Structure formats: structure tokens, C-alpha cells
Copies of this chain bind each other. A is one copy, B any other.
Amino acid sequence: MKALVLSSGGIDSTTALAEAVQLFGHDNVVSLSVSYGQKHSKELQAAEAVAKYYEVEHLNIDISSIFEYSNCSLLAQSDEEIPRESYEEQISKTKGERPVSTYVPFRNGIFLSVAAGIALSKDCDTIYYGVHKDDAAGFAYPDCSDAFNNAISTAIWEGSGKALKVEAPFVNKNKADVVKRGLELKAPYELTWSCYEGGEKPCGVCGTCIDRARAFEANGVKDPAL
């Protein structure tokens, strides 16, 4: 039994990694971060620090060439600004009819497929990732939905010759639940990075900073990374 965990250096995937380490043991866990052309590398450094903390094998893969035709606001080549507002405010503008501007085209599908190829090569039988239901709300990130997760899990199971499962332990939970679980597991949140901007400190006003702050607040805990 061996697991590969998609790790972005944020709190959701760090909690998924904490789950996997507890279940499989750190010798049987591989952490994978992905360079996809994002505007900064703070999250990649965080993913590496978290892997080091858990003493798991850590891989990084650069697939930025896949996204070179996209103008998504998270990407280095984009002239779009990263929205400085909550997801609710963004969804009120998209009316739930299209993804938000920080949706990277089919990112989770690409990450999970790439993870599947590497997991099979590294003799893993399970992939963990930290998707949760808040990100799917209002059509913001359609590649975080339950329907997507079920379909890609089946695709990976069937397409791997029934050798590889996908586990998404938080797909029906919200971000506050994820933090609750991570606090129980003593996940090293002080090492994580969520902010879409790559500043010295988190900006506090992008969608993911706002979401993160609320998730800690809901648990009555100070964010240890601030």
C-alpha cells in the first residue's frame, strides 16, 4: 500500500497529506507538487517544506507548457488581475454561469491524470488530493465538483487497469471542516501558503486568503502562518 498525494503547499492538500501519512506511514507516501506557470513559487516552496516536515519523498513536475495558451489570471503570462474580493463577490458577477477568472483550464483533471501516470510508475495504489466543496460552489471551480471527482476517479480506476484509486476525503466537506481535521492531525499549517499573490506576506484580500481566514475563524483558532 503506497499513496501519492497532490500537494500545493496550501491547507487543503497539507491536510490530505497528513491523512495519508497517518494511514500509510511516511515511507509509503510520495508528495507531488506541480509547476504550471503560476505567478510565484511561494506555494511550491511551501509544498517542499511540508514534505520535508513529514519526511516523505517529494517530487515537483513542470508542466507549464500545457497552459501557455491560457490567459487565466493566476498565470505568469496573463494580463488579467487576480480579483481582490471573496468568491461570493466573484460568483455574484459570474452568476454561477461560468468559472471564476482564477479557474485554470481543467487544472485538477490534468494534475490528477499526471499524478496517475507518476503513481503507476512509482508503484502507488492510491492518489490523495484535497478538493473540498466550497471550491465547487457557484460553479467557481467546476473541476472541484463531486460530479467531476466521481468521473475522474472512475477514469483513473478503469484506465489504470483497476490498479489505482483516487481518494478525495474532503470532497463533501467545507474548508472549515478541513481545518478542523487538520488541527486534529496536527498538520503543520505554519509552513503552508495559500495566497494567490507572491508577496512577502499573504495579501489578505484575494479569494483564497479570505476563505482561509474564515476557515480558521470558524475553528476559533489563529492562523499560525500569519
Which residues of A are in contact with B by a Cβ distance under 8 Å? 61-63, 65-67, 69-71, 98-99, 103-110, 112-114, 116-118, 120-122, 139, 142-143, 145, 147-148, 151-152, 154-156, 158-162, 164
A106→B63 contact, CB < 8 A: no
Q: What CA separation (Å) do A66 and B143 show in the bound complex?
A: 21
A105→B116 contact, CB < 8 A: yes
A160→B117 contact, CB < 8 A: no
Count of identical protomers in the assembly:
2
In the complex, chain B residues whose CB is within 8 Å of the CB of A65: 61-63
B106→A110 contact, CB < 8 A: no
26 pairs from A and B in contact (CB 8 Å cutoff): A61-B66, A63-B65, A66-B118, A69-B122, A98-B161, A99-B161, A104-B117, A105-B116, A105-B117, A105-B118, A106-B160, A107-B117, A108-B159, A109-B117, A109-B156, A110-B113, A110-B114, A142-B160, A145-B158, A145-B159, A148-B159, A151-B152, A151-B155, A152-B155, A152-B159, A154-B154
Given pairs A98-B161, A151-B159, A155-B155, 13 additional interface contacts (CB within 8 A): A63-B66, A66-B114, A66-B117, A67-B117, A105-B118, A105-B120, A106-B156, A106-B160, A142-B160, A143-B158, A143-B159, A151-B154, A151-B158
A159→B109 contact, CB < 8 A: yes
Residue of B nearest to A108 (CB): B159
In the complex, chain B residues whose CB is within 8 Å of the CB of A139: 161
